[in-house]
Structure 1
C-alpha cells in the first residue's frame, strides 16, 4: 500500500514513519496537474500559489465546512511548497516584487504553522521540541535555496552535488529503520559521536548501493521499454492510417 502513496486515505499503516510524506507529495502532484492542464506560465503559477496559500490559512479556521480543502491545502506543507515554487520562479524569471511578497508570505505562514505544529506535538504526544530551533533550521535552508535561486552559487560546480542529489531519495527510503537499528546496536559500545558518524556513513553507503544497483538499472530498463512501446504505437498508427481519397501511391 505504501508503494501507491495512498496509505493515508486508505487508512493503512506507514511501513516506515518517514513515509508520511508520500501522501503529501502525491497531493502536491495532483494539485499541480490542474495548473499544468491549463498551461504553465509565470502569471498563472504565481496566482495559483497565492490562492493555494490563502486556502491553507482558511482551512485552519474554526467551522471549516470543506473537508477536502484540508487534504489539498495542508497547513505547513502548503507554505513550504509555495515558498519553493516562488524561489524557482525567481530562478527561472528573475526576482520581482510579487515573488518577494509571495516568498515572504510563504515564510510567515510557514513559521506560524510550524510553531503551532510543534506545540501540538508537545501537548498531544509529550514530544518536547523547541519550535524556534526548528524554525531557525528551516530558515537556514530557505536562505540556501534562495541563494541558488538568485544565482549566487552558480560558480560552485562541485561534481559530487549531482551524486548527492541522486542519493536523496534512496537515503529517504532507507535511513529510518536501518539507522535506528544501527544506533541501538553500536551506541552502547561507541558512544554518541562515533555512533552518529558511523550511522551516517553507513546510511549514505547503503543509499549509494541502492542507487547504483537498483535505481539506475531500473531507470535504463524503463526508458528503453517506454521508448520501444512509443515506437510500436507510432508504427501501428502509420499502418492503420486510412488512405487519402484521390491519391495513389507510385
Structure 2
C-alpha cells in the first residue's frame, strides 16, 4: 500500500461533519416542516439557505469516492468486504431498529413499518426487492453500497490497476443516461451519481499517485460537467416545492457543486491540510450514526416534544441534542465494539485475541 494512502485526512473528517450538518439542517428546517413532519419549524430566513442542504449528500459521494479508493489500496476482496460490512451494517441495524421501535411505541402512522419492511431494510438494499425504505435517508446508503460492490468486483478480478480507464467508462454510461434516461443504468449502475464518485477517486489519485496529468484533468472536467448537469436537473425539478423558489436557485446549486470540486482540488494538491483536532475527529465519527438516525426518528421526537412544550426552538434543540447523543452512543457502543468483531469474523480471524495467562508466583 502506498504510505500516503494510509494516512488520515482530517480535512475529510471536517467535510463529513459539514455534509451531515447540511443534510440535518435541510431536513429539520426546510423539507420536514414543508411536508408536515416538523410543524412550526419553518424559519424563512434559514429555509432560504438550508433548502440547499440536500447537496450534503453530493459531498458525501465525493468523499466516498476518495476514501473508498484509498481503502481499496493493497486490500484483498475479503479484507475490503469485511471493512465495508463492519463499517456500515452494525450501526444501520441499530438505527433502523430504533426508528421502527419508536414509530411502533408512539403509534406514529406517518413512519410505521411492517415487520417484513423492517427486516428487508436491514439488508441496506430494500430497493432490490421493491420494499420502501424504513427512513427515506437510506436511499443514499443503497447508492453507496452499489459503489462498494463495484470496487469489490475490481479487486476480485484484479482490475483496480485499470481504475482510471474504468472511471472514464462509467462517465460514458452516466452521459448516456443523461441524454436518454434508462432505468437499468440509473438503478444498477448509479449512472446519476457516477460523476461524484469518479471525482473523489480522481482527487485521491492526484493526492497519492503522481498529481495531475492530462487524462486526470479531462476526467475531472467531464465529471464536473455531468455532476452540474444532473444537479441542475434536480434543482429545477425538486426545488419547485419551496415557496421561495427563484430561477437563480439552479445557479446557486451549480456554484455549490463547483465549490466542492474546488475544495477537493486544494486537498488533492496538499494546499489545505488540517492537523489532528479532537473536535474534528468527533465530527467525523458522529456523521454516519447521526445521518442514519436523524430524519424519521428526529421528526417523531420533535413532534412529541412540541406537544409537551409548545416551544419550537426548545423542541428542535432537544431533538438535535438527543440525536447527537444517541449517535455518539451508537458510535461508541456499536461501531467500536461490534464493528471490529464482525470484521474479524468475516476475515476469518479469531474474534478476540487470546489473553496471556498470568504466571504463578509460587
What TM-score range do you get, normalising by the shorter chain? 0.7 to 0.9
After superposition, the CA RMSD in angstroms is 2.9
SS in 2 for 1:38: coil
User: What's the counterpart of residue 217 of structure 1?
Assistant: 337
- 1:148 counterpart (262, 267, 282): 267
User: What's the counterpart of residue 56 of structure 1?
Assistant: 174
Q: How does 1:1-250 map to 2 (within 5 A)?
A: 1-36=120-155, 37-41=157-161, 44-62=162-180, 67-93=183-209, 94-121=211-238, 126=241, 130-184=249-303, 185-186=305-306, 189-191=310-312, 198-223=318-343, 225=345, 226-228=348-350
Question: Normalising by the residue count of structure 2, what TM-score does the alignment of the two structures yield?
Answer: 0.54
Which ranges in structure 2 are unaligned for 5 or more consecutive residues? Answer: 1-119, 354-362
How far, CA to CA, are the matches of 1:137 and 1:203 in structure 2? 27
Which one is further off, 31-40 or 76-85?
A: 31-40
Question: Normalising by the residue count of structure 1, what TM-score does the alignment of the two structures yield?
Answer: 0.76
Task: Check whether the contact 2:178–2:230 (CA below 8 A) recurs between aligned residues.
Answer: no
Which ranges in structure 1 are unaligned for 5 or more consecutive residues? Answer: 232-250
Higher Cα Rg, which structure = 1
Offset at 1:122? 5.0
Count residues in correspondence. Answer: 224
How far, CA to CA, are the matches of 1:24 and 1:116 in structure 2? 19
Flag the 1:152–1:16 CA change in 2: closer, same or farther, 3 A.
Answer: same
CA deviation profile, 1:2-58 (whole Å, cap 9, x unmatched): 1212211211011001011122112212222332222323xx111111110111111
CA deviation profile, 1:57-112 (whole Å, cap 9, x unmatched): 112334x7x75333344343111111111111111112223222222211111111
How far, CA to CA, are the matches of 2:221 and 2:140 in structure 1? 24
Task: Check whether the contact 2:146–2:190 (CA below 8 A) recurs between aligned residues.
Answer: no
Offset at 1:182? 4.1
Which one is further off, 153-162 or 48-57?
A: 153-162
Higher relative contact order (CA 8 A, sep 6+): 2
How far, CA to CA, are the matches of 1:23 and 1:122 in structure 2? 23
Flag the 1:164–1:20 CA change in 2: closer, same or farther, 3 A.
Answer: same
User: What's the counterpart of residue 240 of structure 1?
Assistant: none
How far, CA to CA, are the matches of 1:25 and 1:209 in structure 2? 24
Flag the 1:98–1:190 CA change in 2: closer, same or farther, 3 A.
Answer: farther
Flag the 1:49–1:216 CA change in 2: closer, same or farther, 3 A.
Answer: same
